[in-house]
Amino acid sequence: MNYKTENNVPYTQIRKKTKRFSIRNKILLVCSCLVFLSCFFVGSASVLLAQRMLANEVNAHFINHAATIAKVLNARLNVLIQFLDGIGQMPQIRDRNISFPEKMLLLREERDAYNQKTKRKKSQALQNDVVLQKLWIVDAAGYFHSYDGSLSDMRKREWYTKAIPGTIYVSSPYISITTQEMVITISLPVYDGEQKIIGVIAMDVEDTALSNEVKDILVGNKGYCYVVDSDGTIIAHKDIEKVSEKMNIFALAESDNSFASAASFIKQAIQSETPTVDVYKKENILQIASSARMHTGWTIVVTAPYSEFMGVLGNMKRTLFFITAGIIATALLAIILMMKAIMHSIQQVVTTLQNISRGDGDLTVSLPLIGNDEMTDLSQYFNETIKKIRDSVDAVNKNTITLKEVGVKLSTNMTETASAVNQINSNINGVKQQTLTQAVSVAETAATVEEIVRTIKQLNGSIESQATSVAESSSSVEQMVSNIASITQILEKANIAIKELASATADGKDTIVTSNHVMQQIANESGGLLEASSIIQHIASQTNLLAMNAAIEAAHAGDSGKGFAVVADEIRKLAEESSTQGKNITTTLKTLSGEIETLSISSQTVKDKFNAIFELSGQVKDTSNRLMEAMQEQKQSGIEVLSAIKEINNVTVQVKNGSAEMLTGGESVALEMQKLDELTRLITDSMDEMASGAIQINNAVQEVNEITQKNKESIEKLANEVKKFKV
């Protein structure tokens, strides 16, 4: 028996073209995928969980490490600050009666003693103390007193300005002007017995001291720590050259993109008030780093290669890989053995069915019932199914002969019925074609009449629009003529105003000319006043000289000349006052002369402007005259246009009346054509229904005839197929 698909293609052909994929392989593939996915997800979850736990542990370790280093460095700085504060608390330093040079000598002794103690500790490898470069004090006014009593102004130094308000100041490393070495300056205020600030005490310590503190700090095998200030500049590092060069991470990132990630972390660390930890790339190497803030505002950064701490994950991944591979191999072996046992029973069923379908069709076969599982149920129900099929095939074989005789008779009768129905269908189609021809003619006539009516309506609408437009145009032209008359009156008034403006401008021009002439005369006469003032000053000078000579002669005359001396003194005073007033008059006249000159220039400018205004007013007057003439012509043209539009309006009314009569007649004709068209459509629809019914009957008869023929063939095929089975 050859089964077919929905597309009538034998199923055996499809199986030959399709690659065989057995159930065993399918189950093996599905189980393998499930085992693999289970192991993969369990392993991935384990790796992720371990990675997260390790990352949390490393992050906590780094944060604690950074915080501990910050505490150590803060403690080291506090020792220096406490030492400096102890020096500032000495009675000799707080005593106002002791001079600052004497205090400087005392500070030098303290510095030398401290450095000697530091050298002794270093030689004994007891402690890594710093060396004091300088130790000094300045007064409250900001002046440094040297040993010889000379003063130096320190008021603009940052260590002074930060400490004098009463705070402790610690500077970032910088190059000392005197020693040319990298130092850190620490300063704090000095108080007297009344707790009043009397100065600032400060000291310079080696910058290498801070770098020495961090260079011995190791994080793992390759990790280290360094210190940056608030600007991102390295101030302590195991590589002292980076401190000397004032390497700035932010500036380095701008020129080298490989430091951009590190600069981003440093920026975040500087802005954070609490210890932070993050992962970044430095020179394309993944780094893990933490940071902590010192009380000076500096930031401790602890960094190490990320792989050094997270490398243990690689070993864990390899171990999980081998364990997973072993689990998968064991599971696959168990699945293969189990599938071999299951497929043996299925193969027996396949062999039996293959013998039935492609062999002698023996329906008397049965499968052995072994065990008590699903395969046993399959064998039992297979045997029962084969028995039912055997009984059914036997019954079909007996009824096939009767069906074959009935099919032959039915086929003969349906052939005759189909011929009669075809003749009826042909006659109905002929009548339907004639009806369609009539319907098309009526429809075309109705459409033509409707087009005529539509055209008349459009013409009537256009005529109405034209009548409306002509009426509106007539109103607009009347309004325009009225507006032209109003504009003409306005222009006449404007023309009169322009003439008055021209006359006033001419008068103003004459007045300005006269004023300008008067100003020139005033300016010329002011020069004469200046000459008169000079003469007055000269007379005062000569009078003063004469008074001096009279005083000299009176002195020569002795007592007899005292009266003459008094007169000479009064004359001298009068001459001096005259000279003073003459100078004042000269100054006033010069000022007045300058203002008169300015006024004269302004008067000339006004004169020029009035000349320009006079010329422009003449141009405006000419333009107004031409505009008056144009408006008179426009007024006459508007009257003529208004008369023509009134004539057009009368003709339009007559055309409108004729168009209305044509529209009424056309609508009557169109109404009658619509009635005729509806009647024709009823006839056509009836013929369509008759033709459709005849076609359906014909199709039904043809289908029944075809079914009868197929039924006859099927009965014959069924009889042949039933003969293939052995029952």
- For the segment 229-234, the average pLDDT, to the nearest whole number, is 84
Confidence of residue 64 (pLDDT cuts 50, 70, 90): confident
- For the segment 71-96, the average pLDDT, to the nearest whole number, is 87
Give SS3 for 229: coil
Cβ(410)–Cβ(710) under 8 Å? no
Q: Is 83's pLDDT higher than 80? A: yes
Confidence of residue 202 (pLDDT cuts 50, 70, 90): very high
Identify the DSSP state of 173.
Answer: P
The residues spanned by each domain of the chain are 53-313
Confidence of residue 361 (pLDDT cuts 50, 70, 90): low
The CA-CA-CA angle for residues 67, 68, 72, to 5°, reads 120
Q: How far is CA 607 from CA 499, 509, 600, 712, 720, in A?
A: 20, 7, 10, 129, 135
**Most confident range, picked from 235-239, 444-448, 625-629:** 235-239
Percent over 90 (pLDDT), the chain:
3
CA neighbor of 625 nearest in space, from 505, 497, 484, 492: 492
Q: State both tokens at 241.
A: 């050259």
Least confident of 130-139, 336-345, 431-440, 548-557: 431-440
- For the segment 59-74, the average pLDDT, to the nearest whole number, is 80
Q: State both tokens at 607.
A: 């004169």
Least confident of 15-29, 507-521, 536-550, 607-621: 15-29
CA 20 to chain centre: 57
Which residues lie closer than 8 Å to 590 by C-beta, 6 or more apart? 530
pLDDT in tens, 299-322: 888 887 777 766 666 667 777 778
Higher pLDDT, 139 or 361: 139
Which residues lie closer than 8 Å to 419 by C-beta, 6 or more apart? none
Percent over 70 (pLDDT), the chain:
78
Question: Residue 7: what pLDDT?
Answer: 53
**Most confident range, picked from 182-191, 275-284, 329-338, 413-422:** 182-191
Q: Is 200's pLDDT higher than 90? A: yes
Cβ(539)–Cβ(557) under 8 Å? no
- For the segment 208-218, the average pLDDT, to the nearest whole number, is 76
Q: State both tokens at 17.
A: 């073209």
Instruction: Provide the mean pLDDT of the chain.
Output: 75
Cβ(58)–Cβ(288) under 8 Å? yes
Q: Contacts for 214-217 with beta carbons within 8 Å, 24 or more apart?
A: 214/69, 214/73, 214/238, 217/69, 217/302
Confidence of residue 125 (pLDDT cuts 50, 70, 90): very low
Confidence of residue 514 (pLDDT cuts 50, 70, 90): confident
Separation between Cα atoms, residue 408 and residue 419, nearest integer Å: 18
Domain 53-313, CATH homologous superfamily name and number: PAS domain (3.30.450.20)
Question: Residue 526: what pLDDT?
Answer: 65
pLDDT in tens, 244-289: 788 888 888 888 887 888 888 888 888 888 888 887 777 677 777 7
Question: Residue 314: what pLDDT?
Answer: 66
Separation between Cα atoms, residue 680 and residue 443, nearest integer Å: 9
CA neighbor of 378 nearest in space, from 342, 339, 335, 338: 342
Please count the other Cβ atoms lying within 10 Å of the Cβ belonging to residue 50: 15
Give all strands of the β-sheet with 299-305 in edge-to-edge order: 234-236, 224-228, 299-305, 285-293, 276-282
Least confident of 45-49, 333-337, 720-724: 720-724
Q: Is 169's pLDDT higher than 80? A: yes
Count of alpha carbons within 13 Å of 170, Cβ hemisphere only? 22
- For the segment 626-639, the average pLDDT, to the nearest whole number, is 72
Side chain identity at 109, as an amino acid letter? E
Cβ(648)–Cβ(656) under 8 Å? no
Pairing of strands 132-139, 169-170: unpaired
Count of alpha carbons within 13 Å of 700, Cβ hemisphere only? 7
Separation between Cα atoms, residue 155 and residue 658, nearest integer Å: 112
Separation between Cα atoms, residue 383 and residue 348, nearest integer Å: 12
Phi, psi angle pair for 236, to nearest 5°: -155, 130
- For the segment 349-363, the average pLDDT, to the nearest whole number, is 71
Cβ(291)–Cβ(302) under 8 Å? yes
Higher pLDDT, 727 or 104: 104
Pairing of strands 224-228, 143-145: unpaired
639 sits in which H/E element: helix 562-722
279 sits in which H/E element: strand 276-282
Confidence of residue 147 (pLDDT cuts 50, 70, 90): confident
- For the segment 399-424, the average pLDDT, to the nearest whole number, is 70
Q: How far is CA 267 from CA 62, 273, 278, 383, in A?
A: 18, 12, 12, 83
Give SS3 for 137: strand
Question: Residue 79: what pLDDT?
Answer: 86
Higher pLDDT, 71 or 208: 71
Phi, psi angle pair for 22, to nearest 5°: -70, 160
CA 175 to chain centre: 46
Give SS3 for 2: coil
What one-character-per-residue DSSP string does 310-340 give? HTHHHHHHHHHHHHHHHHHHHHHHHHHHHHH
> For residues 405, 397, 713 and 724, what is the CA-based torsion angle, rounded to 10 degrees?
-150
Question: Residue 3: what pLDDT?
Answer: 46
Give SS3 for 128: coil
What one-character-per-residue DSSP string does 524-545 give? HHHHHHHHHHHHHHHHHHHHHH
Question: Residue 187: what pLDDT?
Answer: 93
CA neighbor of 97 nearest in space, from 189, 192, 188, 194: 192
Helix 562-722 and helix 374-557, axial crossing angle in degrees, nearest 10: 170
